[in-house]
Structure 1
């Protein structure tokens, strides 16, 4: 696991101020450093370097971009698919699973100096519990998606059966033609 950034060790109000200014994107790094020195003189010795702010800003930008992309994807799914099968939840579950996997890999690679074994075991235990919950959620979601797909198929078949009834009409239709149409509609032809 990598060393914690100097920014993550700052008091919450200072860190939040840095994050807000970076997210606004209206200050250069030098202006931000100057702003921090003026606004938080009591933390002057702990304030991050220009390069630390730059690295933190890049990391924050990646997170914000990922959030924007996920939000945009959810909007597109909602607009075009109606999300009857809850594709957003499936995507979110996959993202969380990926993040947990990466975190576990980092924990396993951490040395005892970076993180004592008992703390690492505790974090892995919490991760295992969360993974179990996530897995149950995933299984429930898959069942829901299967039920939604089966319901949609049943609705489609019922609609096609109604259309077939309409085709029979008053002039009638031979049983052979009806069977042939039914097989085409059911994908058996």
Structure 2
């Protein structure tokens, strides 16, 4: 097992400051290293190298881009979905499932993770995946029930219209099977 990255070994205060500055994108790497030295002179010996800050910045940017993409997708879904069958929940569930999958893949690739910590994280992920799966199954059932209710309503309307219009049984069957798709 490799050792923790120099960024992960920083005191929390220093790491959070670094993450905030990286996320802002206002500094070059050299400016950021100088800013860390000025702001945290007591931690001069612990400060990361330029290449470590660069690698960490790339990882952070990938994560932030994924969060931005997920947020944007949720906004689009919310704006476009009538949500009669709870399409937003379905889309959010799919995004969460994708994110959990990516996180597990990242964890498998991590060289500097303690095996005990990895087992603990996988255990938590398994519990969350089980909850997400139950939610997904319940959502699918809700969607099926909503479609069945809509079909039943359409069939009832067909019966009323057929009766009012004096349609024959063959005409009703035609409309039921060809238009509504009910057998």
Match of 2:101 in 1: 97
| 1:151-181 deviation line (CA, Å, top 9, x unaligned) | 2332244135315523542x42222111211
The secondary structure found in structure 2 opposite 1:63 is helix
TM-score by length of 2: 0.82
Cα 1:58–1:156 shift into 2, 3 Å: same
Deviation at 1:133, TM superposition (A): 4.1
Cα 1:122–1:31 shift into 2, 3 Å: closer
State whether residues 160 and 185 of structure 1, in contact with CA within 8 Å, keep that contact through their aligned partners in structure 2: no
TM-score by length of 1: 0.80
C-alpha distance in 2 between matches for 1:79 and 1:67: 18
State whether residues 7 and 53 of structure 2, in contact with CA within 8 Å, keep that contact through their aligned partners in structure 1: yes
Match of 1:177 in 2: 171
Match of 2:129 in 1: 134
Instruction: Return the match for 2:86 from 84, 92, 99.
Output: 84
Match of 2:160 in 1: 165
Residue correspondence of structure 1 range 1-189 to structure 2 within 5 A: 3-81=3-81, 82=83, 84-85=86-87, 86-87=89-90, 88-103=92-107, 105-106=108-109, 120=115, 123-124=118-119, 127-128=122-123, 130-169=125-164, 171-187=165-181
* Number of aligned residues: 179
C-alpha distance in 2 between matches for 1:25 and 1:145: 42
Runs ≥4 residues deviating over 6 A: none
Gaps of 5+ in 1: none
State whether residues 37 and 44 of structure 1, in contact with CA within 8 Å, keep that contact through their aligned partners in structure 2: yes
| Cα RMSD, aligned residues only | 2.6
